[in-house]
Amino acid sequence: MTAPGFDTQFAGSIPELYDQLLVPLIFEPYADDLARRVAALQPLRVLETAAGTGVVTRAMAGLLPAGAAIVATDLNQPMLDRAAAIGTARPVQWRQADAMGLPFPDANFDAVVCQFGVMFFPDKAHAYAQARRVLRPGGAFIFNAWDRIEENELAQAVTDALATVFPTDPPRFMARTPHGYHDEEAIARDLAQGGFAAAPRIELVAARSRAESAAAAAMAYCQGTPLRNEIEARGAAQGVSLAAATAAAAKAIAQRFGQGPVDGKVQARVVMVVK
């Protein structure tokens, strides 16, 4: 069973768990990195797509000049609601929007930013064409995407553990979507098909993923991402609870990383292309 329809569903308790557990686990180091790259461009108007619960938004709000306008969008209103509730150091415009059809005029932004969202776009070249359309000439599109799952230790451990819980139909969300878009030639080709004539600059960036315990890391992945949707769908048919599947993932993480705090490798690509 594959569940592409589930892959973009961030609702229910997912936004809160995502923000509380997954953001500090894997997103914060890359958010700071991306915000610094954007700030170096000195943009006056920035559009963020797939903003999630606002980790990059908050980082940019702290680094960009006071006069720079930030518009943060996401497909999922519950994620934006969580982001707005947390707040930012200065005003940000939050707006529900689909990156596949951005509701903004042409040539309206100096930079378009997307942290770990492009993997979810059903037609990446089309989404890139939308980013290019709203960029001013000379503006930059900056995004990151996870490397293959084998280079991301906790995601691999959770995926392997769930394969033992559901051996006939293992949940493959992590490998299929977050870690399924890592080929540099494919990224460059999609950008070209989206209308970007310049070659992208692609940089491989490694970081550390840390959690206070194996249980916290397992909760982050199993209940704070759309992986939860796959687990619950399979569990309902096979009599396996979400709690039991999460416990199995926690056990596997503890066996690999120890009973105390968890520290694993994460790795992603940062991409920048200029219009």
- For each of the domains in the chain, give its residue range(s) and CATH number, in order of start: 4-274 (3.40.50.150)
Query: Tokens standing for 59?
Result: 């980082």
pLDDT confidence tier of residue 220, bands split at 50, 70 and 90: very high
pLDDT at 10 over 90: no
161-175: per-residue pLDDT in tens?
999 999 999 999 999
- Cα 249 off chain centre by: 21
- Of all residues in the chain, the percent with pLDDT exceeding 90 is 88
